[in-house]
């Protein structure tokens, strides 16, 4: 009997306090696949571009660890796809990000999609990078934000808007639907992509109130990874040249806080080639 394919899930889509595989993924996992949560050892909220870089380092180390532990694929369970290009270069097992997968799926359902997110405009640098990085600028009608910057300061309080969303409170669902309706009626969107995997619990509620397809990135991205593993597909080494073993060790040691080896600065290989040709 063949063993289940082990798929590493990096990020719960909610918070580090949520144990185990997210319920939306467990619900859609196909027979023959075993999704497993691989927690990051460096956890940083990507509130600024600098903090996003730190967050990406944590995801890269977790992905390397997942491959070391025998997983058959890695799913980056966040719309920001933190560290995705680095992981595609570091790993030989397939790597799928929730953001890239959700947007790609949306382009098969319509001609222009809108990203509707619970997060405020201060975090739109994350969406802007993903839209550009995935080549989706011409296909995206825009990013539509539900929560204000002031509301973001209420995170963790009794008036937490994200908690209200997860609980399915009618007022918050209505705000998300209103943002999506605006995108469709006034900005030419024919498909809606939810802009955070934390929105997974209410995706069906939003979809039931709209007349256009709604792509929920947590489950959409996970199912793309299942498909790639089932078809024995992985990222192209021509697009993502593989990293060397010693460089993978640097990421492990850096996150673990281990002493890094003393190394001399490496010469630029491009400059060396150019000098040799002169």
Residues 264 and 274 sit within 8 Å (Cβ to Cβ): no
Task: Evaluate if residue 261 carries a pLDDT over 60.
Answer: no
For residue 152, count CB atoms less than 10 angstroms from its CB and return exposed for 0-12, middle for 13-18, buried for 19 or more.
middle
Task: Evaluate if residue 148 carries a pLDDT over 50.
Answer: yes
Sheet holding 95-97, edge to edge: 33-37, 5-10, 73-76, 95-97
- pLDDT band with cut points at 50, 70 and 90 for residue 1: very low
Considering only CA atoms, which of 148, 169, 149 is closest in space to residue 158? 169
Q: How many CB atoms lie within 10 A of CB 135?
A: 12
The 10s digit of each residue's pLDDT in 204-225 is: 999 999 999 999 999 999 999 9
Ramachandran angles phi, psi of 45, nearest 5°: -75, 130
Bridge partners for 63 per DSSP: none
Q: What is the overall mean pLDDT for the chain?
A: 90
Predicted model pTM = 0.89
Task: Evaluate if residue 155 carries a pLDDT over 60.
Answer: yes
The 10s digit of each residue's pLDDT in 54-90 is: 999 999 999 999 999 999 999 999 999 999 999 999 9
Considering only CA atoms, which of 266, 202, 223, 182 is closest in space to residue 96? 223
Task: Evaluate if residue 118 carries a pLDDT over 60.
Answer: yes
């Amino acid at each position: 009997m063949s063993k289940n394919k082990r798929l590493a899930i990096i990020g719960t889509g909610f918070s580090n306090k949520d144990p185990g595989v997210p319920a939306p993924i467990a619900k859609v996992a196909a027979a023959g696949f075993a999704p497993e949560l691989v927690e990051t050892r460096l956890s940083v909220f990507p509130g600024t571009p600098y903090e996003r870089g730190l967050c990406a380092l944590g995801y890269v180390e977790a992905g390397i660890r997942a491959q070391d532990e025998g997983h058959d694929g890695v799913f980056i369970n966040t719309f920001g796809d933190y560290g995705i290009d680095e992981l595609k270069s570091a790993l030989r097992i397939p790597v799928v990000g929730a953001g890239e997968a959700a947007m790609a799926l949306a382009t098969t359902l319509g001609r222009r999609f809108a990203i509707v997110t619970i997060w405020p405009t201060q975090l739109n640098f994350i969406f802007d990078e993903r839209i550009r990085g995935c080549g989706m600028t011409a296909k995206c009608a825009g990013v539509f934000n539900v929560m204000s910057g002031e509301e973001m300061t209420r995170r963790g309080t009794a008036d937490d808007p994200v908690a209200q969303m997860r609980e399915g409170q009618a007022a918050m669902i209505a705000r998300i639907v209103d943002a999506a309706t605006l995108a469709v009626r006034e900005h030419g969107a024919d498909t809606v992509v939810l802009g955070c995997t934390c929105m997974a619990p209410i995706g069906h509620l939003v979809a039931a109130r709209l007349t256009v397809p709604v792509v929920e990135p947590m489950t959409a991205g996970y199912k793309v990874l299942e498909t790639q593993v089932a078809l024995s597909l992985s990222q192209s080494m021509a697009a993502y040249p593989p990293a060397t073993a010693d460089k993978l060790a640097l990421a492990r040691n850096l996150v673990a806080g281990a002493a890094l080896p003393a190394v001399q600065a490496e010469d630029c290989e491009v400059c060396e080639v150019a000098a040799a040709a002169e």
